[in-house]
Amino acid sequence: MHVALVSEHYHKQPSGPRKAARSMAAALHGLGHECSLVGIAPRDAIETLPGGGEARLRRYPWRLVPTKFGRPRFYARELERLHRRHEIDAVIAMGLEPGAAALRFRETAGVPFVLNPRSFLVNAPGTWKFERAQLLMRECDAFVALSESAADAWCAALGYQRDGKVFGVLNGVDPTELEGKTNPPSGLNGHPLILCMAMLRVPKGQHVLLKALARLTDLPWQLVLAGDGPARADLVALAARLGLTERVLFTGMVQGAEWRWLYRNAQLFALTPVYMEACGNALLEAQAAGLPVVTSDAGSVPEVVSPESALIVPVGKVPFPDEAPILPKLETALRRALTDAALRQSLGAAGRERASRLSWQRCINGYLAAAQSGTGALARVR
């Protein structure tokens, strides 16, 4: 079978969409299938995917055409070109614009598509993106959200009665990515390391984590906020107001040897989402690294971690209106994890075991099974 992935953010490095696409391509190859990818990038490029398939990245020149019309047509045209060269059996559309392109491509070529809308819808009813999401959920051959919680949330937001074509499939994790050379980032102070690897934005809850840690200054620790994003300046200012400037290290985006060093040398992983968390890739990576986890129960988090691998702080309805009831619970969980070595060892061992069952091959099998059982549209799959 030849599967075409359409990804709107594959060209960004490093990024979750890129890692997911390459990992899915490798898993498809491992199952004996072929995989290609179509994407938009600042300049034309062709990359080799794991397994030997091509990632065909094309510069988007239709600047005068509104994005909501132009990009789906552009992606669809690239799919048609690929289809003429190498017949496509199924499309996995990673995002709403790729989904609209896959729908256009199905109308001309009859190729079914699986829609993976990625994280979660934040557009209000009445906007064109909301209406497009409703259309694509109705029209796709199978709908795969990044978790069961995200699948339920998408259906509720779009007013769609969940049926047999809607599935939740967690992303995978590859523990071998943690192997290889390591290099520590600069700015470490030698104290026990708490790692938070995520984009710096409000939904990830780094502001809540900082406020909870401000209650633990009697203990030795250093927090590494690895990542970047729109909330960075606010988080730097918050750390200063809380008197934590010397205890918090902002590394920016990390990858390669520094990324491996942080996962392999941290004592604890802490990430406390306060909005709908669709999957939580960093939580998967932390478990694969054998790190004990302190987190919240927002969205899919209880699907990704388990009570054996993480201390899970209940936050109730998200986004929650008041942080005050959450902070004492988070403080308690962090204190337990920082002061109880046996607990950390137990949580870390359970995390490794859980991560071993969340492979990318399991993930891609979930996509293929969803597509085949959703509507029977993949009768062409061989």
DSSP string across 155-219: HHHHT----TTEEE------GGGG-S---PPTT--SSPEEEEES--SGGG-HHHHHHHHGGGTTS
As beta bridge partners, residue 91 has 4, 113
The pTM for the full model equals 0.92
User: What one-letter code names the amino acid at 230?
Assistant: P
Amino acid at 21: A
The Cβ-side half-sphere exposure at 292, using a 13 Å CA radius, reads: 21
- Is the pLDDT assigned to residue 382 strictly greater than 70? no
Q: What is the torsional sign of CA 49, 54, 59, 62?
A: negative
What mean pLDDT is predicted for residues 271-285?
A: 93
pLDDT over threshold 50, residue 357: yes
Predicted local confidence at residue 130, as pLDDT: 92
Q: Which residue has the higher pLDDT, 20 or 318?
A: 20
Q: How far apart are CA 125 and CA 119, in angstroms?
A: 17
**Side-chain half-sphere of 230: how many Cα atoms within 13 Å?**
4
Question: In the predicted model, is pLDDT for residue 312 greater than 90?
Answer: yes
> Does 320 have pLDDT greater than 70?
no
The 222-226 sheet, strands edge to edge: 248-252, 222-226, 193-197, 268-271, 293-296, 310-313
**What's 175-356's CATH class?**
alpha beta
Is 381 a residue whose pLDDT tops 60?
no
Q: What is the pLDDT of residue 318?
A: 66
Task: Kindly report, residue by residue over 184-240, the tens digit of the pLDDT.
Answer: 999 999 999 999 999 999 999 999 999 999 999 999 999 999 999 999 999 999 999
Interacting residues of 130 by C-beta distance below 8 A, sequence separation 6+: 121, 123, 124, 158
Q: Which CA distances in Å does 302 have to 148, 273, 278, 313?
A: 11, 12, 11, 10
- Mean local confidence (pLDDT), 363-370: 94
Residue 166 scores a pLDDT above 60: yes
How is domain 2-172+359-374 classified at the CATH fold level? Answer: Rossmann fold (3.40.50)
Domain with CATH 3.40.50.2000 in the chain: 2-172+359-374, 175-356
pLDDT of residue 61: 87
Q: Kindly indicate the confidence band of residue 35, based on its pLDDT and cuts at 50, 70 and 90.
A: very high
